[in-house]
Amino acid sequence: MNPIDFGQISVAAYVFFFLSILATACELAFAFLENELGRKTAKCFCVGCLGLMAVAWVPRAWPIYVGAFLGTIGDAFLLKKHKVWPMVLGTFSFFVGHVFYIAFYAMAVHFPWWIYVAFAVFYVLFCLIAYGPMHKIIKQPQMAFGGTIYFGILVLDFLFAAAACFFGAFDYLFLAALGGVCFIASDCFLVYTSYVKDMKRRDFYIMATYVMAQALIIVGACLTFVKGI
């Protein structure tokens, strides 16, 4: 594994990274205290600053920060997650963001052709099988269908990151694979507390796992790009 020269990282990248940490600390503190105004104010800065960090650090690795900025747009829409259209638009933004993350994994590793075929078949089967259980949780058929499509790409994101590790990019993309696990955990908790049973300080747990997921994916991808793909 080639060592990363952290001294070569731009000052701007460090600044945005620490701003993301600061925003996340504020977000989690406000979420724990159930201060809605403070939580909503800090929310979009957490991943937005990670996206700006990626721009300053690896400007040519555009799928990374495009995915991060789409996540930030999704965060903004989900400030009103109890309304249908903000939820739909936010979910769509996250969906497209995961597509860009997957595009980066395809850039990082030259997958054999059968991986794409196998994962495409898996995605279709996953959506067909998962729709029934999803519909039992989310009663509206259209929302359940959209949720199934979204969770399919979420799992696919994790599988591509894990496959990238297996096919030679383990050095840093294992962080992205861990991020995929955190993403799944965060969104499962979001669905459970939104449609099954609400919980005290739910936004604290959702955001803790969500920001961890985005940070692991973005930092892991940036380190992989710097190493050389």
In this predicted structure, the answer to whether residue 229 has a pLDDT above a threshold of 60 is no
pLDDT at 7: 66
Global pTM reads 0.93
Is residue 212 within 8 A of residue 96, CB to CB? The reply is no
102 or 10: which leads in pLDDT: 102
Report the percentage of the chain scoring pLDDT > 90.
80
Q: Which two tokens stand for residue 6?
A: 């952290």
* Encoded tokens for 83: 């309304």
Q: What is the pLDDT of residue 33?
A: 95
| pLDDT of the residue at 196 | 92
Min mean pLDDT across 47-51, 79-83, 109-113 is at 79-83
Distance of alpha carbon 149 from alpha carbon 62, whole angstroms:
25
Tens digit of pLDDT for each residue in 27-71?
A: 999 999 999 999 999 999 999 999 999 999 999 999 999 999 999
Say how far apart CA 133 and CA 135 lie, in whole Å: 5
Distances (CA, A) of 129 to 121, 133, 136, 148: 12, 8, 13, 9
Q: What is the mean pLDDT of residues 89-118?
A: 95
